[in-house]
Structure 1
Amino acid sequence: MKNYLIKLLISTLLILVISYFLKIEITNYLAAVFMAVALSFLNTFLKPILKILAIPVTIMSLGLFLLVINASIVKIADYFIDGIQMTFLQALFFSVILSVSQYILNKIFTEKKNNK
């Protein structure tokens, strides 16, 4: 639970920072928190289904279609959160930058479980 809250905090801060640089409109900080929760939920439940359904297209595009799936997940979260507005191109760059940043910061700040 502690690691999840740390990851949620990291995601919220990254959403605020990345949206500033990509000129994405966020009306308040609570919208960024809801965006982090929505992305967490959608990445857990919807993204695996989309990846399975898009296997042929992903193979034909040599994996580049996964970027479209990531951007679509961000746009779906954007649709449900009132305080955030972005275009699909912004969502594409946002998803790539967010994924790389989350990977790096989660490796630094979350605990590793010992498998003894």
Structure 2
Amino acid sequence: MFKLIAIWIVNALTLLALPYLLPSIQVAGLSTALLVAVVLGLINTLLRPLLILLTLPVTLLTLGLFIFVINALLFQLAGNLVDGFQVGGFWSALFGSLAYSLISWALSSVLLGKSRR
């Protein structure tokens, strides 16, 4: 349970850092970042696997690069669902989703370390 809450907080802090890297992405505050982290988690858990399955032929043709498009569209969807979180457009969503993934992965691995099995 602690690890889940820690990852949630790391993801929210990552969302707060994104406007400094990409000015076209805006986050209103910490409460908005916490809400967006939950929404992105739910979207990635429920919607992403279905979209990857439906777009499998295109993903195979592009050697997996279409997954970046899916991630950008889902990031932009979160921007449309949550007030106070704005994504400027597709390219902002693409670079924002990449930065969000890389920063949250790096912070999680540094702060939480490797998980023991």
TM-score, scaled relative to structure 1: 0.91
Structure-to-structure mapping, 1:77-116, within 5 angstroms: 77-86=78-87, 87-110=89-112, 112-115=114-117
Give distance in 1, aligned partners of 2:22 and 2:116. Answer: 38
Question: Match of 2:47, SS?
Answer: helix
How many residue pairs match? The answer is 115
**Higher relative contact order (CA closer than 8 Å, sequence separation 6+):** 1
- Dislocated runs of 4+, deviation >6 Å: none
Superposed CA deviations along residues 34-80 of structure 1, whole A, max 9, x for unmatched, are: 11110111111111111111110001111110000101111111111
Give distance in 2, aligned partners of 1:17 and 1:112. Answer: 23
Question: Match of 1:4, SS?
Answer: helix
Between the two proteins, what is the percent identity of the paired residues? 34
Give distance in 1, aligned partners of 2:115 and 2:31. Answer: 31
Matched, 1:58 2:59: yes
Give distance in 2, aligned partners of 1:28 and 1:104. Answer: 22
Superposed CA deviations along residues 84-114 of structure 1, whole A, max 9, x for unmatched, are: 1112211100101111122222222225454
Question: Match of 1:85, SS?
Answer: strand
TM-score, scaled relative to structure 2: 0.90
Q: Which amino acid aligns with 2:106?
A: I
- Would the aligned equivalents of 1:3 and 1:111 in 2 still touch at CA under 8 Å? no
Give distance in 2, aligned partners of 1:114 and 1:101. Answer: 22
Matched, 1:17 2:17: yes
Provide the residue aligned with 2:72 in structure 1: 71
Residues 21, 55 of structure 1: alpha-carbon distance in 2 compared, 3 angstrom cutoff? same
Q: Unaligned regions of 5+ residues in structure 1, if any?
A: none
- Would the aligned equivalents of 1:19 and 1:94 in 2 still touch at CA under 8 Å? no
